[in-house]
Structure 1
Amino acid sequence: MEKKGYFSGSTLKWIAIITMFMDHSAKLLYVPQSLINTFTPGMATFYTALIKVFDVFLVLGRLAFPLFCFLLVQGFIHTSNIKKYFIRLFVFALISEVPYDMAFRLSYFSLEKQNVFFTLLIGLVVLIGLKKFEERTPLNLLISLGIIGLGIFTAEFLQTDYGGWIGILMISVLYLLRDYPLVQSLAGCGVILQNSIAGMFSFLFIYFYNGKRGRQWKYLFYWFYPLHLLLLLFIQQQLLLPYVRSILTAIP
């Protein structure tokens, strides 16, 4: 029996963007309960409730990355210009690095960890290599394994978000098993289990992908990623932290 598809590429992208925003909101706007207890009663009640919401956000946030990997694979399969696709990812990897480092490393530039665009960029290069050696021969199989291994090593060495053993392996699996949706989803679940159980549920959406692009906002995700980090960083640094500092300095 042929599976039914319910979700377009556009729908999957919105789910990924929203859940990513939830995840980053919870991480960047989190305040320990010990500090919340020093807030004014009304604010303490509000933020205690908000922390519970953030706990849900962190779980839902695990859905985002597998969806972005799947969308990368679909973009690679259907793009008419792989060079422009590569350049787009590379440019936004550079644009996003400062907001990413400011948000998660409190520095304008850090080599400690790189943003997710670098993971997707390395994944795209791996896909280009896998397509080149797609013919099923023993030699091509060895070369393909080498390409995947090199991609994993590069992502781990550069310490990109989700790294090689999750990010690059996920992208590779989703591409190689693209003609077998059920096996693809099960294999993807196995990969994401390295990160979380909740991430497995993203494959319910992936399995029921209908093969259609849906309405496209071409640069939506590209610009949303750095801009939402800057927005959350502004709230954290200009609104939340000053309030926390004012409370702490008022304590005798």
Structure 2
Amino acid sequence: MNKKGYFSGSTLKWIAIITMFMDHSAKLLYLPQSIIEQLPPAMETFYTALIKIFDIFLILGRLSFPLFCFLLVEGFVHTSNVKKYFSRLLIFALISEVPYDLAFRNSFFTLEKQNVFFTLLIGLVVLMELEKVKERTPLNIILSLGIVFAGIFTAEFLQTDYGGWIGVLLISVLYYLREYPLVKCLAGGLVILQNSISGLFSFIFIYFYNGQRGRQWKYLFYWFYPAHLLVLIGIQQYILLPYIRMIFSTIP
């Protein structure tokens, strides 16, 4: 199917990174209304307006994950060394776990839930195994289904971000249907509906992907993920929360 594309891989990556940052900013810097009402009038007005912006950020933030899944599939299909690709994901999954746990579990380290790199890593392993049985025979089809369900089970068992039924399944669908842009986007949209309606709009960008990598910032996302979490944690723990405590300490 021939179609005109507008977005390079680099553009999609920037969209994914920016919307991810919006999503995490809204989640980590959010204050409940009961606290906002206790703030000084000027700050209350400011934060009330900010919460409305955060609501928009949360909607836009749903665009990021499908884009990262799509870019993972593209990276796998075009990489010259899948073992290095795997190693990078594994290294940054480990690096990112402490910032992720601090941000979303208020703990230095916990096995309760794992960061999104682990979801992408499991998805990559699924793709590596699917590539070994890509010849369409009845046996290989059965093996392929087994591989996908094994990946889904692993992600669900490890409680990775977005899990197996969304993350691993979406990666598998985008890989299997990569030669059929419209069908791929429709099927991917059905998977992401488990998470949000706004995530559907990411497939507009995916559909109009032009097949070009664009300017590459090879380690941008890898380092950005843990770094932006640490920055947001710093703002939350050393600026926002101390300010809130100070305000409440002055209330008779």
Question: Under TM normalisation by the shorter chain, which class is it?
Answer: over 0.9
How far does residue 75 in structure 1 lie from its aligned partner after superposition? 0.2
How far does residue 249 in structure 1 lie from its aligned partner after superposition? 1.3
Structure 2: state its 5+ residue gaps. none
Residues in 2 aligned to 1:94 and 1:177: alpha-carbon distance in whole angstroms: 30
Amino acid at match of 1:168: V
Q: Which residue of 2 aligns with 1:127?
A: 127
Deviations 1:90-141 (A, max 9, x none): 0000000000000000111011100000000000000001111000000000
Where do residues 106-125 of structure 1 align in structure 2 (5 Å cutoff)? Answer: 106-125=106-125
Q: Which residue of 2 aligns with 1:230?
A: 230
Residues in 2 aligned to 1:124 and 1:62: alpha-carbon distance in whole angstroms: 21
Q: Which residue of 2 aligns with 1:28?
A: 28
TM-score (norm 1): 0.99
In the alignment, structure 1 residue 80 sits paired with structure 2 residue 68: no
How far does residue 10 in structure 1 lie from its aligned partner after superposition? 0.1
TM-score (norm 2): 0.99
Residues in 2 aligned to 1:43 and 1:200: alpha-carbon distance in whole angstroms: 35
Structure 1: state its 5+ residue gaps. none
Residues in 2 aligned to 1:3 and 1:197: alpha-carbon distance in whole angstroms: 25
Q: Which residue of 1 aligns with 2:66?
A: 66
Amino acid at match of 1:233: I
Q: Which residue of 1 aligns with 2:46?
A: 46
Deviations 1:162-217 (A, max 9, x none): 00000000000000000000000000000000000000000000000000000000
How far does residue 23 in structure 1 lie from its aligned partner after superposition? 0.1
Residues in 2 aligned to 1:34 and 1:227: alpha-carbon distance in whole angstroms: 31
After TM superposition, what 4+ stretches of structure 1 lie above 3 angstroms from structure 2? none
Identity %: 77
Residues in 1 aligned to 2:18 and 2:36: alpha-carbon distance in whole angstroms: 26
Q: Secondary structure at the match of 2:62?
A: helix
Residues in 2 aligned to 1:2 and 1:227: alpha-carbon distance in whole angstroms: 39
Residues in 2 aligned to 1:56 and 1:117: alpha-carbon distance in whole angstroms: 25
Q: How many residues align?
A: 252
How far does residue 248 in structure 1 lie from its aligned partner after superposition? 1.1
Q: Which residue of 1 aligns with 2:213?
A: 213
Q: Secondary structure at the match of 2:63?
A: helix
